[in-house]
Protein backbone atom coordinates (compact mmCIF):
# COMPACT_ATOMS: atom_id res chain seq x y z
CA UNK A 1 0.00 0.00 0.00
CA UNK A 2 2.72 2.52 0.89
CA UNK A 3 4.44 2.30 -2.46
CA UNK A 4 7.22 4.83 -3.01
CA UNK A 5 5.61 5.61 -6.39
CA UNK A 6 2.36 6.69 -4.72
CA UNK A 7 1.74 10.42 -4.97
CA UNK A 8 -0.49 11.61 -2.18
CA UNK A 9 -3.19 14.20 -2.75
CA UNK A 10 -2.36 15.80 0.59
CA UNK A 11 0.28 15.37 3.26
CA UNK A 12 -0.65 13.03 6.15
CA UNK A 13 -1.63 15.80 8.57
CA UNK A 14 -4.19 17.33 6.19
CA UNK A 15 -5.50 13.98 4.94
CA UNK A 16 -5.96 12.91 8.56
CA UNK A 17 -8.02 16.08 9.13
CA UNK A 18 -10.24 15.26 6.14
CA UNK A 19 -10.56 11.64 7.29
CA UNK A 20 -11.86 12.97 10.59
CA UNK A 21 -14.30 15.43 8.98
CA UNK A 22 -15.62 12.56 6.84
CA UNK A 23 -17.12 11.13 10.04
CA UNK A 24 -19.67 13.98 10.00
CA UNK A 25 -21.66 11.80 7.58
CA UNK A 26 -22.23 9.32 10.39
CA UNK A 27 -24.63 11.79 12.02
CA UNK A 28 -26.59 12.10 8.77
CA UNK A 29 -26.88 8.31 8.64
CA UNK A 30 -28.24 8.14 12.18
CA UNK A 31 -30.62 11.05 11.56
CA UNK A 32 -31.95 9.52 8.31
CA UNK A 33 -32.74 6.33 10.23
CA UNK A 34 -34.35 8.28 13.09
CA UNK A 35 -36.53 10.20 10.62
CA UNK A 36 -37.43 6.94 8.80
CA UNK A 37 -35.96 8.05 5.48
CA UNK A 38 -34.56 4.58 4.95
CA UNK A 39 -33.94 4.90 1.22
CA UNK A 40 -31.71 7.91 1.93
CA UNK A 41 -29.54 6.18 4.53
CA UNK A 42 -27.30 4.88 1.77
CA UNK A 43 -26.54 8.44 0.62
CA UNK A 44 -24.52 9.63 3.64
CA UNK A 45 -23.67 6.00 4.49
CA UNK A 46 -21.94 5.37 1.20
CA UNK A 47 -20.31 8.78 1.27
CA UNK A 48 -18.98 7.95 4.73
CA UNK A 49 -17.56 4.59 3.64
CA UNK A 50 -15.96 5.80 0.41
CA UNK A 51 -14.64 9.01 1.96
CA UNK A 52 -13.04 7.22 4.91
CA UNK A 53 -11.58 4.67 2.53
CA UNK A 54 -10.02 7.36 0.36
CA UNK A 55 -8.75 9.76 3.03
CA UNK A 56 -7.02 7.02 5.03
CA UNK A 57 -4.33 7.04 2.33
CA UNK A 58 -5.26 9.53 -0.43
CA UNK A 59 -3.30 8.52 -3.51
CA UNK A 60 -3.81 10.71 -6.57
CA UNK A 61 -5.42 8.95 -9.51
CA UNK A 62 -6.33 5.87 -7.48
CA UNK A 63 -9.50 3.87 -7.99
CA UNK A 64 -10.45 4.75 -4.39
CA UNK A 65 -10.37 8.46 -5.25
CA UNK A 66 -12.58 7.98 -8.30
CA UNK A 67 -14.98 5.75 -6.33
CA UNK A 68 -15.25 8.44 -3.65
CA UNK A 69 -15.93 11.23 -6.15
CA UNK A 70 -18.27 9.15 -8.34
CA UNK A 71 -20.30 7.84 -5.44
CA UNK A 72 -20.61 11.32 -3.96
CA UNK A 73 -21.94 12.73 -7.24
CA UNK A 74 -24.37 9.88 -7.87
CA UNK A 75 -25.61 10.01 -4.27
CA UNK A 76 -26.06 13.78 -4.53
CA UNK A 77 -28.05 13.46 -7.76
CA UNK A 78 -30.32 10.81 -6.25
CA UNK A 79 -30.90 12.82 -3.10
CA UNK A 80 -31.42 16.06 -5.05
CA UNK A 81 -34.11 14.25 -7.02
CA UNK A 82 -35.68 12.97 -3.79
CA UNK A 83 -35.59 16.51 -2.36
CA UNK A 84 -37.90 17.75 -5.11
CA UNK A 85 -41.19 18.93 -3.60
CA UNK A 86 -39.97 18.23 -0.05
CA UNK A 87 -40.78 20.58 2.82
CA UNK A 88 -37.28 22.09 2.95
CA UNK A 89 -36.39 21.70 -0.71
CA UNK A 90 -35.07 25.23 -1.27
CA UNK A 91 -32.88 25.48 1.81
CA UNK A 92 -31.58 21.96 1.13
CA UNK A 93 -30.54 23.01 -2.38
CA UNK A 94 -28.82 26.13 -1.03
CA UNK A 95 -26.69 24.18 1.46
CA UNK A 96 -26.05 21.23 -0.85
CA UNK A 97 -25.19 23.62 -3.66
CA UNK A 98 -22.75 25.46 -1.39
CA UNK A 99 -20.55 22.38 -1.29
CA UNK A 100 -19.73 22.56 -5.01
CA UNK A 101 -17.98 25.95 -4.97
CA UNK A 102 -15.97 24.75 -1.97
CA UNK A 103 -14.58 21.90 -4.06
CA UNK A 104 -13.51 24.22 -6.86
CA UNK A 105 -12.06 26.79 -4.44
CA UNK A 106 -10.12 24.01 -2.74
CA UNK A 107 -8.76 22.82 -6.09
CA UNK A 108 -7.89 26.37 -7.16
CA UNK A 109 -6.00 27.04 -3.94
CA UNK A 110 -4.25 23.69 -4.24
CA UNK A 111 -3.16 24.38 -7.81
CA UNK A 112 -2.28 28.08 -7.46
CA UNK A 113 -1.23 28.67 -3.85
CA UNK A 114 -0.09 25.27 -2.58
CA UNK A 115 3.50 25.61 -3.79
CA UNK A 116 3.73 29.12 -2.42
CA UNK A 117 2.85 28.56 1.21
CA UNK A 118 2.14 26.06 3.96
CA UNK A 119 -1.00 28.07 4.73
CA UNK A 120 -2.22 27.31 1.21
CA UNK A 121 -2.24 23.59 1.96
CA UNK A 122 -4.35 24.14 5.05
CA UNK A 123 -6.66 26.62 3.32
CA UNK A 124 -7.27 24.12 0.53
CA UNK A 125 -7.91 21.41 3.15
CA UNK A 126 -10.30 23.67 5.04
CA UNK A 127 -12.35 24.40 1.92
CA UNK A 128 -12.53 20.68 1.16
CA UNK A 129 -13.76 20.04 4.69
CA UNK A 130 -16.57 22.55 4.01
CA UNK A 131 -17.84 20.08 1.39
CA UNK A 132 -18.33 17.55 4.19
CA UNK A 133 -19.87 20.15 6.48
CA UNK A 134 -22.29 21.81 4.02
CA UNK A 135 -23.34 18.49 2.51
CA UNK A 136 -24.26 17.07 5.89
CA UNK A 137 -26.00 20.23 7.06
CA UNK A 138 -28.05 19.94 3.87
CA UNK A 139 -28.82 16.30 4.70
CA UNK A 140 -30.04 17.13 8.21
CA UNK A 141 -32.22 19.95 6.85
CA UNK A 142 -33.75 17.68 4.20
CA UNK A 143 -34.34 14.79 6.59
CA UNK A 144 -36.01 17.14 9.12
CA UNK A 145 -38.95 17.90 6.87
CA UNK A 146 -41.73 16.06 5.13
CA UNK A 147 -40.83 14.21 1.95
CA UNK A 148 -42.66 11.94 -0.41
CA UNK A 149 -42.11 8.35 0.60
CA UNK A 150 -39.91 6.38 -1.74
CA UNK A 151 -42.74 4.05 -2.77
CA UNK A 152 -44.88 7.06 -3.80
CA UNK A 153 -42.33 8.47 -6.21
CA UNK A 154 -43.08 8.06 -9.89
CA UNK A 155 -39.97 7.45 -11.94
CA UNK A 156 -40.15 8.57 -15.54
* Domain boundaries along the sequence of the chain: 12-147
Tell me the pLDDT of the chain averaged across its residues: 91
pLDDT digits (tens, 9 = 90+) for 95-139: 999 999 999 999 899 888 766 677 889 999 999 999 999 999 999
Report, as an integer, the average pLDDT of 35-50: 96
Distance between alpha carbon 37 and the CA centroid of its chain, in Å? 19
What percent of the chain is helix, strand and coil (3-state, nearest 5)? 75, 0, 25
Amino acid sequence: MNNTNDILTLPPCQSSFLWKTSWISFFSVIYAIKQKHYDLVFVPGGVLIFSLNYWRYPVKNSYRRYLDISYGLIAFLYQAYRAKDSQYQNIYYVFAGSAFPCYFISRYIRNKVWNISFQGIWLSTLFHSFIHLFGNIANIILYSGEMKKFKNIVFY
